[in-house]
Amino acid sequence: MLPVTLGADNLLQVLPQEVIQLAQGLDTFIVENEKTARRFLGLIKTAKPVRELTLLTLNEHTTDAELPALLAPLLAGKHVGLMSEAGCPGIADPGARLAELAHRKNIRVAPLVGPSSILLALMGSGLNGQRFTFLGYIPSDKQARIHRIKEIERHSRQHQETQIFIETPYRNQHLLEDILEHCAPETRLCIARNISLPTELIMSKPIKDWKKSELPELHKQPTVFLLLA
């Protein structure tokens, strides 16, 4: 399970040297997006030229019936790197499905150290790190989104649990506006944008204070939202 940088070419700042060295020695990878995977593998300078590497695709469109074929190199005795588009495979990522099948086939699954925007956001938020839930994507329909926001806030208040969620980057600003309009003044909101990049922003405030301040630009920028009522 090979973590990938979150968008920057600062490999040595976010990936341990041991992880890079292990990845350099592989020649077979299961990837979410072949184009971005080749770019990343070019940056780490694999022992084989990138054009000679074997890249197998596992994404949201991969069916369960196609998963066994992805295990063929492993069953033949090869080490294989499983990569997400960005961050850690298996977390908010289709790689979890293949890892589950690998366990059933008694294939060792080895997670390597690297950046996870979800955990980094929680670490930097100052919100409750003892009880938290990652909820994935919020509904895109406005009314469904507002209903879900209210539901999330209610659950957080009842259980004192940090709620972590994301949105497609081009809808980030709409999500932020709805959170500010429909959550209670004392509810705390953390916005974690472009984590590990030069434009990183991790900022936590009560809703009432967010309303008084200039809002950050989130349009088309990867952002994690964290809420604690």
Edge-to-edge strands, sheet with 201-206: 132-137, 162-166, 223-228, 188-193, 201-206
Structure tokens at 110: 């080895």
Q: How far apart are CA 227 and CA 155, in angstroms?
A: 10
User: What tens digit of pLDDT does each residue of 191-214 get?
Assistant: 999 999 999 999 999 999 999 999
Evaluate if residue 141 carries a pLDDT over 90.
Answer: yes
Evaluate if residue 127 carries a pLDDT over 80.
Answer: yes
Question: CA-CA distances (angstroms) from residue 20 to 77, 87, 105, 146?
Answer: 21, 14, 27, 42
Q: How far apart are CA 42 and CA 70, in angstroms?
A: 22
**CATH architecture of the domain formed by 11-104:** 3-Layer(aba) Sandwich (3.40)
Q: How far apart are CA 63 and CA 97, in angstroms?
A: 10
pLDDT of residue 79: 96
Continuous segment of H or E residues that includes residue 135: strand 132-137
Whether pTM exceeds 0.75: yes
Evaluate if residue 9 carries a pLDDT over 90.
Answer: no
Evaluate if residue 10 carries a pLDDT over 80.
Answer: no
pLDDT of residue 183: 98
**CATH architecture of the domain formed by 117-228:** 2-Layer Sandwich (3.30)
Q: How far apart are CA 200 and CA 121, in angstroms?
A: 11
- Domain coordinates in residue numbering, the chain: 11-104, 117-228
pLDDT of residue 13: 85
Evaluate if residue 8 carries a pLDDT over 90.
Answer: no
Q: CA angle at residue 100 from 73 to 8, to 5 degrees?
A: 75
User: What tens digit of pLDDT does each residue of 72-115 get?
Assistant: 999 999 999 999 999 999 998 999 999 999 999 999 999 999 99
Burial 141-162 (b: 16+ CB within 10 A, else e): eeeebbebbeebbeebeeeebb
What mean pLDDT value characterizes the chain? 95
